[in-house]
A and B are shown apart, each in its own frame.
Chain A
Amino acid sequence: AQTVTQSQPEMSVQEAETVTLSCTYDTSENNYYLFWYKQPPSRQMILVIRQEAYKQQNATENRFSVNFQKAAKSFSLKISDSQLGDTAMYFCAFISSGTYKYIFGTGTRLKVLA
């Protein structure tokens, strides 16, 4: 069975600094997709970034980038130039190719400090 682990329940970072959120997963499949979602206090689920397992290049979206290490089954999220609006719960998620069911990690609560 696939599992997703986020080992950091809470983190904080100073505004304008960089922070990295960790995520590891376990699967025997070769084709899958990984995502980071942000859930602010409004509780909307907002897609931050996605990574296809077959792509070696790490995905980037403006201030957000990932470090995808397929062999190590690691998928960390780096947030550069942190902003107060980045304060939220962040969930790492896995979906295997051919199925549509997300497997979510337990989440990391990130607080950006002014």
Chain B
Amino acid sequence: GAVVSQHPSWVICKSGTSVKIECRSLDFQATTMFWYRQFPKQSLMLMATSNEGSKATYEQGVEKDKFLINHASLTLSTLTVTSAHPEDSSFYICSANGQGNQPQHFGDGTRLSIL
């Protein structure tokens, strides 16, 4: 089945550092990818929709300059958390859209801890 690879799975870094998370569709082309944030014991919150070759669409309340998204190819989207602070610590999950209304394929997530 379709696989989405997300890297890294866990990152710990100092406050003020920028962190890049990659989301790759391994065996299919994904014109649309999604980035979610999940706090402990809570649901997934959509942060932004990443569109190949165009600007990402951010959900209300999500800072564009804080969470930079680049979708430069049909198989790769990246989320960069710029100048990360402890409040940015969270679990980030990406997903990629299959064809039509097929279920999204999720990556395994990235646990981000900012010290």
CB within 8 Å of B: which residues of A?
A: 33, 35, 42-45, 47, 50, 91, 95, 97, 100-102, 104-107, 109
Contacts and interface: CB of A to CB of B under 8 A. Distances in A.
The majority secondary structure among interface residues of chain A is loop
B54 interface: no
Contact of B93 (A45, A50, A100, A107): A45
**Which of B44, B46, B93 counts the most A-chain CB atoms under 10 A from its CB?**
B44
Interface of B: 32, 34, 38, 41-44, 46, 49, 91, 93, 95, 97, 101, 103-104, 106, 108-109
Contacts of A97: 101
The 3 A-B pairs at the shortest CB distance, nearest first, are namely A45-B106, A100-B97, A104-B43
Given A102-B46, A105-B43, 13 more contacts: A33-B101, A42-B108, A43-B91, A45-B44, A91-B43, A91-B44, A100-B49, A102-B95, A106-B42, A106-B43, A107-B42, A107-B43, A109-B41
A35 B103 contact: yes
Given A33-B101, A95-B101, A43 B44 contact: no
Query: Taking each of A43, A45, A109, which has the highest tally of chain B beta carbons within 10 Å of its own beta carbon?
Result: A45
7 contacts: A43-B38, A43-B93, A43-B109, A45-B106, A102-B46, A102-B95, A107-B43
A101 B104 CA distance: 9
B103 A47 contact: yes
Given A43-B109, A44-B109, A100 B44 contact: no
A44 B108 contact: yes
A101 B103 contact: no
Contacts of A42: 108
B86 to A, nearest CB: 20
Nearest to A32: B101
Contacts of B106: 44-45
A101 B49 contact: yes
Contacts of B43: 91, 104-107
